Chain A
Amino acid sequence: DQQVKQNSPSLSVQEGRISILNCDYTNSMFDYFLWYKKYPAEGPTFLISISSIKDKNEDGRFTVFLNKSAKHLSLHIVPSQPGDSAVYFCAASDAVRGGSNYKLTFGKGTLLTVNP
């Protein structure tokens, strides 16, 4: 049972345009969502996150939107740059405040290619 889904394995955009990466989840207990960026042969790096009490979080060129009713989140990159070309993973957590059992559930990733 895949609780976090990234239905687009790949996405190709032109430099300077907007990249929109989508993610859907099924577990209504998830209350914290993260995006990671991964280059080949490297570990993922944390990009941006959002908690369920918000519907938008922005950091420079990156904005994450959360639609809880639809169980959907998206990552917008504006403007896209060739260096953004990487695999992007969506992850979700049902963080327990004060607990010690923290796990992230990852989607399968979307390969973003930004063409010059």
Chain B
Amino acid sequence: SQTIHQWPATLVQPVGSPLSLECTVEGTSNPNLYWYRQAAGRGLQLLFYSVGIGQISSEVPQNLSASRPQDRQFILSSKKLLLSDSGFYLCAWTARLAVYNEQFFGPGTRLTVL
């Protein structure tokens, strides 16, 4: 069966510090991968998605970047965090050849920028 991991689970970082959040998927190959953010009291905002190694699409301009160095690894980064980067970050995957794209989410990372 497929599983998706995210770490760390929680993170407290000062403004201006770098960020690296990691997501890995097991039990599937060639997944589509996604990064979402849920800010306090808000819905799920799609940040990035990837359909293959090295292929990243950005949905909204922001202080973050994403990379996919391996087929089942998706990394969310920032060089300098802002207060507004605080939120709950979720990674998700879906099968590449799925006709209907049910996405499956990881447990999330709670990021607090102080």
Residues of A within 8 A of B (CB): 32, 34, 36, 41-46, 49, 51, 89, 93, 95, 97-98, 100-109
Contacts and interface: CB of A to CB of B under 8 A. Distances in A.
Interface string B7-23: 00000000000000000
A100 B42 contact: no
Contact of A43 (B51, B98, B105): B105
Contact of B43 (A51, A103, A108): A108
Main secondary structure of the interface of A (DSSP, over half): loop
6 contacts: A44-B105, A46-B103, A89-B44, A98-B97, A101-B51, A103-B46
Contact of A95 (B46, B88, B99, B106): B99
Contact of B90 (A44, A46, A51): A44
Given A41-B108, A44-B44, A104 B100 contact: no
B16 to A, nearest CB: 26
A54 B6 CA distance: 35
A42 to B, nearest CB: 6
A41 B90 CA distance: 10
B112 to A, nearest CB: 13
B87 interface: no
